[in-house]
Structure 1
Amino acid sequence: MAPVWLGGFFFFTAFAYAMVGFGGGSTYTALLVLAGTDYTILPAISLACNITVVTGSTVRFARAGLIRWRRLVLLCSASIPLAWLGGLVELPERVFVTVLGLALLASSMALVFRNPSPRGSPPRLPRWSEPVLGGCTGFLAGLVGIGGGIFLAPLLHLVRWGPVREIAAAAAFFILVNSLAGLAGQAQRLAGSGEIDTLLAYWPLLPAVLIGGQIGVWVGRDKASDLWLIRLTALLVLVVALRLLWRAAGI
């Protein structure tokens, strides 16, 4: 059974990340490591929590009319197969983690110094490039084993893809489809290893992240300013970047 304290931390993680359309997968993984969870089931637990959070987020964003379905098809058309492909690639851990940490650090700094685009401000990139953007982001997500929204959202902000809340909605849906693909692969792997029973012991984490995520997306959708949401996105990306660089340094 998952420790009681773990449910509380998962609740607050889901709350914070859902405000900007994220699922919180990278932080769930770190918390599970601290709790001494078997590393073989870590990705499946994190992805399941990701899906729980962003499913609720996607429904709320859709009801608010914030999801641009046609453009999301472009973003996701290449991301799902490339996320699967990314999971097959092996790189030296320290090299990859260092590069990834530096990329996220640059993204967070760019967001800190960027103001929200005025409504109606044109995007910087043509729409035909969106499958390329989504595919590259999906591939990177597959390499890391998360949904990929934490990579996608800074890029969408920088290219002025749309208003801040529409970007949060796009990130939530992007995480959902990539996490579903990733969890399918994890479930197939665990089915033959006898680890399913161990995985089921962590079910209390799902209602914790569901409630936290629903509160977070409500605050992010209706209560927070655009500038505040951008700053929070930058902070969350920065935290992950520093954690990756810390790990790469071998400290």
Structure 2
Amino acid sequence: MGESMILYLALAIASAAALYSSVGHGGASAYIALMALAGLAPDDVRPAALVLNIVVAGLGAFRFIRAGRFDWRVFWPFAIAAIPAAFLAGRIDVPEHIYRPLLAFALAAAALRYLVWPQIDAVKPSAPPSPLVALPVGAALGALAGLTGIGGGVYLSPLLVFAGWADPQRATGIAACFIVVNSLAGLAGRASLFATLPSFLPWLVGAASIGALIGTTWSLRGLNQAGVLRVLGLVLGIAAAALIA
């Protein structure tokens, strides 16, 4: 890949990281689409996207936890079930024509809700789910994350808000932490692909880090609960389009 293409890819990844990190997401679905458009081989794309996901979500998790946008009672049952599921599912190759349309439809439906009616979920009360509910849901989300090569926050955060398990702002921190642990587990499940990571990945990591700093700062200083949901709707819509493409 030429230097100019690497520069364009880094700028695009920085922009995606800024948008996704503002709602606690890592952006793996966008990175996968961008790297595929840039001509990277499929085996190079998923592990590289997971690395970028960990960097962006990790920075977001750190900043959102410090700002009080986190709830351990909600996080732990989802995470403890998702980690082994993401690791095991990360070792399975599932035909893309099976899972992509289903996930795209679900994400598009959530995107429409939060773009058009964000006020519905911005004001309703929230309470942590029972572990009897959260554990199997976490396992399912972890398996989805491992199969699709992304961290799973794009599935978790709309579910947290829709089900009333967390308010939109705390959902950002919970989703960011969930993405970190799932991406690490999924990357471990695909350890054999480490050798295929592109040599210019450090440039992409630097660009994603800058984007994440911008996105999380915007979220912490400028987004109220309805604003978080509107941006979340935009992010989900982009993720749905990336899955269809």
TM-score (ref. length: structure 1): 0.87
Instruction: State how 1:103-114 maps to structure 2 within 5 Å.
Output: 103-112=106-115, 113-114=117-118
After superposition, the C-alpha distances for 1:192-229 in whole angstroms (9 at most, x for unaligned) are xx535xx2322111111111101111111221121111
2:81 aligns to what?
78
Q: Distance in 1 between matches of 2:112 and 2:180?
A: 26
1:99 to 1:24, Cα distance in 2 relative to 1, 3 A: same
Separation of aligned partners in 1, 2:189 and 2:130: 33
Question: Percent same amino acid among aligned pairs?
Answer: 32
What does residue 27 of structure 1 align with?
30
Equivalent in the alignment of 2:146: 142
The whole-number CA distance in structure 2 between the counterparts of 1:190 and 1:96 is 22
Maintained 8 Å contact 1:44/1:183: yes
Q: Deviations over 1:145-172 (max 9, x none)?
A: 1001001111111011122110000110
| Contact 1:76 1:134 survives alignment (8 Å) | yes
What residue number does 2:214 align with? 215
- What corresponds to 1:162 in structure 2? 166
Deviates more, 1:50-59 or 1:99-108: 99-108
Residue 180 (structure 2) pairs with residue 181 (structure 1)? no
Across the two proteins, how many residue pairs are aligned to each other? Answer: 240
TM-score between the two structures when normalised by the length of structure 2:
0.89
SS of the residue 1:161 aligns to: coil
Match of residue 153 from structure 1: 157
* Structure 1 ranges of 4+ moved more than 6 A: none
Counterpart amino acid of residue 145 in structure 1 = G
What is the CA-CA distance between 1:76 and the residue it aligns to?
0.3
CA RMSD of superposed structures (Å): 2.0
Gaps of 5+ in 1: none
**Residue type at the aligned position of 1:217:** T
CA distance, structure 2, for counterparts of residue 211 and residue 89 of structure 1: 33
Matches within 5 A, 1:166-245: 166-186=170-190, 188-190=191-193, 194-195=195-196, 199-245=198-244
Higher helix share: 2
Report which stretch shifted further, 160-169 or 15-24: 160-169
| CA distance, structure 2, for counterparts of residue 127 and residue 223 of structure 1 | 33
Q: Paired residue for 1:118?
A: 123
Give the AA of the match of 2:203: P
User: What is the CA-CA distance between 1:87 and the residue it aligns to?
Assistant: 2.7
1:89-113 CA-partner distances (Å, limit 9, x unpaired)? 4444323211121121222233343
